[in-house]
Amino acid sequence: MNVQQFPTRLSCGNRVLDLSRPHVMGILNVTPDSFSDGGLYGRPDAALRHAESMLAAGASLIDVGGESTRPGAPVVSTSEELDRVAPVVEALARELDVIISVDTSTPEVMRETSRLGAGLINDVRALRRPGALEAAAASGLPVCLMHMKGEPGTMQQDPRYLDLLGEVQAFLRERLQACAEVGIGADRVILDPGFGFAKTLQHNLSLFKHMPVLLALGCPLLVGVSRKSMVGQVLQRDVGERLYGSLALAALAVAKGARILRVHDVAETADVIRMIAAVEAAE
């Protein structure tokens, strides 16, 4: 196992996440068009029930997202995103003992959901939208900064890197610095290589293999590969048939030092983590 260099107690609003061990983040899409479960959990009661079952299955965090970032997905207005996300965050905060993460790049959504009880801001654009750094800073919440080149709509059109690992690391270092300048210290930051975002299959595999290099930035790592096309491409499987491939990557991500796994299949991933923990706890 890798030696971790970050604080292990992450304060997420009124809850604490113990990062001395790995955690499952369950995905709750409240979009009509996400690639693997779009439209299933749009209504607050359906979303609440699904979140409840992910919590019972072992999720420490629930990641609520109202904007689909799949290539070619339509742009969502701020009011539409708020209408999708806010009622769900409010219901989860009221009903469940779980850390609510909000998958958003929109400052207004950060502000409103932090008021409603969110515990983490998860931004695939790493707080690059105007006003996002300031909104995240004011929320007092930790942030997950993800690497992506370009915008979701066009990011998969021939992504190229001269030095993939170096560029991802430099990007994350620059965003950490931007955070520090608005008062978001490194002790409030989680980093994410951004699998599937402006990356070819070979980029994704190479970044995964060398992921431990990113630990040098001094923050915990979040990995999101669940059911993604890198699994589908290697195994030649449709979205509904990517569980075993996703679990293999989950186990490998933990072995490489990741502390949060963002997944659809919570119970199965929680078993992977528990099994690894049992071995690591042995004499």
Residue 103 touches ligand 7PJ, criterion: CB under 6 A: yes
Residue 69 touches ligand 7PJ, criterion: CB under 6 A: yes
Tokens of 270: 């929680």
Q: How far is the CB of 152 from ligand 7PJ (least distance, A)?
A: 9
Is the separation of the CB atoms in 200 and 245 below 8 Å? no
The closest residue (CB) to ligand 7PJ is 224
Closer to ligand 7PJ at the Cβ: 25 or 48? 25
What x-and-dash track marks residues 19-58 binding ligand 7PJ by CB under 6 A?
Answer: --------x-------------------------------
Residue 122 touches ligand 7PJ, criterion: CB under 6 A: yes
Q: Following CA atoms 51, 241, 258, 26 in sequence, which dihedral angle do they give, to the nearest 10 degrees?
A: 0
Query: Which of the stretches 85-93, 190-198, 199-207, 239-247 binds ligand 7PJ when contact is defined by CB under 6 A?
Result: 190-198
Question: Where are any strands of DSSP class E within 51-188?
Answer: 59-65, 99-103, 120-123, 143-146
Residue 164 touches ligand 7PJ, criterion: CB under 6 A: no
**How far from chain centre, in Å, is Cα 207?**
16
Distance (Å) of CA 177 to CA 170, 172, 220: 11, 9, 16
Q: Following CA atoms 181, 185, 186, 191 in sequence, which dihedral angle do they give, to the nearest 10 degrees?
A: -70
Alpha helices (H) along the chain = 44-56, 78-95, 107-116, 132-139, 164-181, 201-209, 229-235, 243-255, 266-281
Query: Which of the stretches 4-12, 88-96, 221-229, 234-242 binds ligand 7PJ when contact is defined by CB under 6 A?
Result: 221-229
149 is catalytic: no
Closer to ligand 7PJ at the Cβ: 120 or 272? 120
Q: Please, what is the end-to-end C-alpha distance for the chain in angstroms?
A: 14
Applying CB under 6 A, the site for ligand 7PJ has a residue count of 15
- Alpha-carbon span 34 to 73, nearest angstrom: 8
Q: How far is the CB of 146 from ligand 7PJ (least distance, A)?
A: 4
Closer to ligand 7PJ at the Cβ: 195 or 208? 195
Closer to ligand 7PJ at the Cβ: 27 or 116? 27
The correct pick among 124, 136, 172, 215 for binding ligand 7PJ (CB under 6 A) is: 124
For the beta carbon of residue 130, count every other beta carbon within 10 angstroms. Answer: 7
What are the residues facing 26 on neighbouring strands?
Answer: 62, 263
**Residue in 228, 242, 256, 259 annotated catalytic:** 228
Nearest 5°: CA angle at 197, between 75 and 102?
60
**Residue in 175, 199, 256, 262 annotated catalytic:** 262
Residue 120 touches ligand 7PJ, criterion: CB under 6 A: no
Tokens of 23: 């955690």
For the beta carbon of residue 226, count every other beta carbon within 10 angstroms. Answer: 25
Q: Are strands 189-192 and 222-223 parallel, antiparallel or unpaired?
A: unpaired
Catalytic residue numbers read 228, 262
Interacting residues with ligand 7PJ (CB under 6 A): 27, 69, 103, 122, 124, 144, 146, 192, 194-196, 222, 224, 228, 262
